[in-house]
Structure 1
Amino acid sequence: MKKRILVACGGAIATSTVVAEKIRELLKKEKIDADIRQLRISELQSNKDNADLIVTTAKVKKDYGVPLIHGVGFITGINQEKVEQQILKELKN
């Protein structure tokens, strides 16, 4: 079953593009079929329905009722493997 992932940052351009591409590479390697959509953090509330996972590059404290992972490790390289494992754990559940 295809997973739906929302990747959000402040403007839905710069950091979300980097994170979305790295997630695509990870999921391709793991043979996980997913639809990855980039958007602004301000758009999460109106787009959360049917999402399996939200990955953000900014700290978000709001609960959207969807698993949320802070994905800044894809930008900094710090703890990137930990973030990848969190994503895989959520998508394989």
Structure 2
Amino acid sequence: MKKRVLVACGAGIATSTVVCERVENLLKDNAVNAEVIQCKIAEVSSRQEDADLIVSTTILPTTYKIPALIATSYITGINMEALDQKILDHLK
């Protein structure tokens, strides 16, 4: 079954593009069948029904029905492997 990951940032452009590529490569390298969808943080609540995980580059304004991870480490370059593992754990 294909998993869906929402990658969200404030505007849905710059930081989420970097995170999107990182997550796509991570899933491909680990043979996880998943679709990565880039969106604005404001769109997450309306799209969460179809998704399995949220990866956000910004503080989440609310709580969601699905797990959410903050992807700051992909922006800063600190503890990226730990975040990789958390993402994989949620999708396996």
Query: Above 0.5 in TM-score?
Result: yes
The runs of at least 4 aligned residues of structure 1 exceeding 6 Å deviation read: none
- The residue that corresponds to 2:35 in the other structure is 35
| Unaligned runs of at least 5 residues, structure 2 | none
Structure 1 residue ranges without an equivalent (≥5): none
Cross-structure match for 1:11: 11
Match of 2:69 in 1: 69
Deviation at 1:78, TM superposition (A): 0.7
CA RMSD of aligned residues (A): 0.9
Q: Return the alpha-carbon distance in structure 1 between the equivalents of residues 59 and 20 of structure 2.
A: 17
- Could you say what secondary structure the match of 2:50 adopts? coil
Partner of 1:79: 79
1:45 aligns with 2:45: yes
Deviates more, 1:58-67 or 1:68-77: 58-67
Which amino acid counterpart does residue 54 of structure 1 have in structure 2?
I
Post-superposition Cα deviations, 1:17-49, rounded to whole Å, max 9, x if no partner, equal 000100011111100111111111011111111
Q: Distance in 2 between matches of 1:43 and 1:65?
A: 14
Return the TM-score normalized by structure 1: 0.94
Query: How far apart, CA to CA, are the structure 2 residues paired with 1:50 and 1:43?
Result: 12
Question: Once the 2 structures are TM-superposed, how far is the Cα of residue 61 of structure 1 from its aligned partner?
Answer: 4.9
